[in-house]
Structure 1
Amino acid sequence: MQTAEIVYNGELRTTSTHVRSGSVVETDAPVDNNGKGERFSPTDLVSSALGSCMLTIMGITSRTQGWNIEGTKVSILKIMGTEPRRITGINVEFTFPDGHGLGEKQRTILERAALTCPVAKSIHPDIVQDVKFNW
């Protein structure tokens, strides 16, 4: 079964439909690349996928261990290069709410889980992944 179907809508916009669920994501070219910047750009989605994947893997790990990381947030900063135009870096910053009661060992386990998520391992090694954990 296909993962997604993508339609070009004109005006540098696409609609991606997740085949299994019907969930929809629209993209727009960024302002600095002839678009309106009114939606995620494809490179925004790549960068956001890294943070989402890290949080998901941390969620799996914490659920398996009986820990709670609900409310954890991640901020993403995508860094673009120009020759050729591509992502050159992704800054990922985690902020964990107070009150989770996780010790140093649990934090280390969660950090390692995040850093080994499938998206992190799929991104080309030339793209710098700068990850910070604010406990």
Structure 2
Amino acid sequence: MATIKSSYEGNLRTKMIHLQSGQEVITDAPLDNNGKGEAFSPTDTVAAALGSCMVTIMGIVAERDGMSLLGLTWEITKVMQSDPRRIAEVIVEFHWEKPVGSPAFLQKLKNAAKTCPVALSLHPDIKQTVHFNF
């Protein structure tokens, strides 16, 4: 059974619908690749998925240990390569002003993040640079 139903909307725009929830995501081609840049590009969604997946797995670990990740934020920087055009690197920078838990717990979170399914699914040629500012 399908997970996502997608359609081409014209003008280099796509629409994806998550079938279980009905949530929609629009993508546009980026400005530097003939697009309008009015929404996430397909490669932006890949980069965003890495950060979201890392935090989801960290959240599972935190909940299992009775801890909270409230206040944790992150930024994603996607670095493109031109020939061939592809994602060369995804930089994930975590910020947590007031982390909770022991140094061992925080290390457990970092280890969990680096083994999330998206991190393990990306091609090894895509460099994953992760900074934990906590």
The CA deviation at 1:102 is 1.6
Aligned to 1:123: 122
The CA deviation at 1:101 is 2.9
Query: 2:58 aligned with 1:54, yes or no?
Result: no
Aligned to 2:5: 5
Aligned sequence identity (%):
51
TM-score when normalising by structure 2: 0.98
**Could you tell me which amino acid in structure 1 is paired with residue 25 of structure 2?**
V
Q: Distance in 1 between matches of 2:128 and 2:111?
A: 14
The CA deviation at 1:96 is 1.1
Q: Distance in 1 between matches of 2:122 and 2:8?
A: 25
Q: SS state of the match for residue 133, structure 1?
A: strand
Q: Distance in 2 between matches of 1:49 and 1:93?
A: 14
Moved over 2 A (4+): none
Q: Distance in 1 between matches of 2:113 and 2:70?
A: 15
Q: Distance in 1 between matches of 2:90 and 2:50?
A: 8
Query: 2:65 aligned with 1:65, yes or no?
Result: yes
Q: Which moved more, 1:123-132 or 1:64-73?
A: 64-73
Superposed counterparts of 1:1-135, under 5 Å = 1-98=1-98, 100-135=99-134
5+ long unaligned stretches in structure 2: none
Q: SS state of the match for residue 121, structure 1?
A: helix
Q: SS state of the match for residue 2, structure 1?
A: coil
Q: SS state of the match for residue 119, structure 1?
A: helix
The CA deviation at 1:91 is 0.4
Q: Distance in 2 between matches of 1:9 and 1:31?
A: 17
CA RMSD of aligned residues (A): 0.7
Q: SS state of the match for residue 69, structure 2?
A: coil
The size of the alignment, in residue pairs, is 134
5+ long unaligned stretches in structure 1: none
The CA deviation at 1:50 is 0.0
